[in-house]
A and B are shown apart, each in its own frame.
Chain A
Amino acid sequence: MTTDFFDIDSALSEEERAVRDSVRRFVDERVLPIIGQHYIDGHFPLELVPELGKLGVFGANLPEEYGCAGLNNVAYGLIMQELERGDSGVRSFASVQGALAMYPIYAFGSEEQKRRYLPKMAAGEIIGCFGLTEPDYGSNPSGMITMARRQADGTWILNGAKMWITNGSTAQIAVVWAKTDGDPEDKSIRGFIVPRGTRGFTSKDQKGKLSLRASDTSELVFQDVHLPADALLPESGGLKSPLMCLTQARYGIAWGAVGAAMACYEEALSYAKTRVMFDKPIAGFQIQQVRLAEMLTEIVKGQLVSLHLGRLKDAGRYTPQQVSLAKRNNVSMATDIAREARRLLGANGILAEYAAMRHMANLESVYTYEGTHDVHSLILGQAVTGINAFK
């Protein structure tokens, strides 16, 4: 690929390259030919899920003993990069399944829960979603009003609503975060596994999206949902638990955004070299060369940020603030590149036949979810000044 301008391949292990190449081929052969139409139709390509499960992308950095691939975090990041080179919706599915549904079960679940759910989720036989955000509590999840009350027999009654839930209507299980026992403080937040079909649990597809159209985004409603005692993720406790999940997902997004940017750049470069205007390819005009040079430079920087963050994560030395920097930088970079690529493509750039505008619209969601760009700015601001600007 022409985007490997700094021979970053040479900084990857053979195994990391093999993982990347296998997922890359899958995306080229199975995702790219169909994704434009799915985007237009507003459907997630659900038929890819068993194949993605067989390939092993779900929760790929979780241990083999739970049916996962046991990859390191750099290989996991490369998977996210390749999936988002296809479409942010496809990467979002994998992020939610792996980092937001499987990871909390792995990190906070009982051994029985891990053995019951993780192997089937790795295989794509059980799809999960993650319910944290509420209609009135997005950037401020600690204000959530969803409440679970423990009954005398140890079971739970759950009430509340969650919004903007990726995979919400597709999932067989929802990992739902709720305050407990009437305590309004965020330290009471715990995680619950809520299977579809549980009485009082309904979901509704969110219509009218102009972004992430090849993705299921839903609202979840819980009305007196009676859950058994073992629905609780026993090791979860406080807002820190869901935030730990978000750090995992944001890490993947930092890589994924680079993939979307790579797709846009490759498309723009190829178009510029073949599109003839004023008797020469538009790649021969200085204005397009500047565009391409800027795009490539930012992609290389994003690649290096992701890779180094991955090495830090594998060494157990990364911080959530570093993940914030990477997510914030790379998604913003990709959003700009997608727009520039669309512009370079001229009128053709508005067609679904090309990827740039689909990525451009998708990335507006990615810019906003998993901690908005602005929230990550404040996290970094707090990290460097020591002053909390949220309150």
Chain B
Amino acid sequence: MKIAVCIKRVPDMESRFKIAASGTAIDETGLKYDISDFDAYAVEVALQINEKAGAGETTVICLGPDAVQETIRKALSMGAEKGVQLRADAVPADSLAIARALAAELKDGGYELILFGKHALDTMTGGAGTMAAELLGLPCLTAASRLEVTGARATARRELEGAAELLEFPLPAVVTIDEGIARPRYPSLKGIMAAKKKPLDVKPAQLGSVRVSVEKMELPAERPPGRIVGTGPDAVPELVRLLQTEAKVL
């Protein structure tokens, strides 16, 4: 099956972030980057579908500056066959512009299944997948926790609050992937070596007009230090009073 997986390069979310001098982005100095977790799950799902079928081709598509080639090669080292970089100086804050560039690349690719992570770990907008589906006129299903393909149709499971739903839909389709669906494999060392020889096309990203931009980025306010109001049962009335009057949580 011909599958496309749209992935994003994101900073290690355990980093200590600083705001860049521009005030509209994070300071990238010293940050480590990797494929966004949900996108790695999506790559794994694609590889498993094709492995089960015994044939197929997985193409990973990533929008961004040349640094994203490393992220694409990571997916290639996991086993994807082809990579495409949609070159842009930066990833815009406008999900529709991203979706437009991805849809332009996807529309003539002949993909039977298009996967996204349910959202990127850094921006968490979750818009690109659904918007790309709309632009392509394809059925779309979000946050799948299970996905099975049978011929030209597929079924997926979505986790709800206290329940789950099973959905059925025709292919081609766009599916965004939730966690728990598959554990991404370790890129094997042979896979890492092989990835260097796999095709990686670089094309300009057709973003169109970008209408949303970041005006200001700020870190959460520092939490005030904790306070010990007393010890033992004697402290309880004062603690309850403060939780009611100051913290306002009771």
Contacts and interface: CB of A to CB of B under 8 A. Distances in A.
A and B associate in one complex: yes
A55 B73 contact: no
Contacts of A79: 189
Interface in B9-38: 30, 32, 34
What's the interface size class on B, roughly?
10 to 19
B196 interface: yes
A57 B189 contact: yes
A64 B188 contact: no
A52 to B, nearest CB: 10
A18 B76 CA distance: 12
Given A14-B70, A18-B73, A18-B77, A64 B190 contact: yes
Contacts of A18: 70, 73-74, 77, 187, 192, 195
Contacts of A23: 189
B4 to A, nearest CB: 23
A54 interface: yes
Interface string A65-97: 000011100010001000000000000000000
B189 A56 contact: yes
B74 A25 contact: no
Interface in A26-79: 26, 54-57, 60, 64, 69-71, 75, 79
Kindly state the interface size class of chain A when it binds its partner. 20 to 34
Most buried by B among A7, A54, A56, A60: A56
A337 to B, nearest CB: 24
A297 interface: no
A60 B34 CA distance: 24
Contact of A22 (B32, B192, B196): B192
Contacts of B196: 15
Given A15-B196, A18-B77, A55 B189 contact: yes
Contacts of A171: none
A15 B30 CA distance: 19
Interface of A: 7, 9, 14-15, 18-19, 21-23, 25-26, 54-57, 60, 64, 69-71, 75, 79
7 contacts: A9-B32, A15-B193, A18-B70, A18-B77, A19-B192, A23-B189, A60-B189
Given A19-B189, A22-B192, A75-B189, 9 more contacts: A15-B192, A18-B74, A18-B192, A19-B192, A21-B34, A22-B188, A56-B191, A64-B190, A69-B189
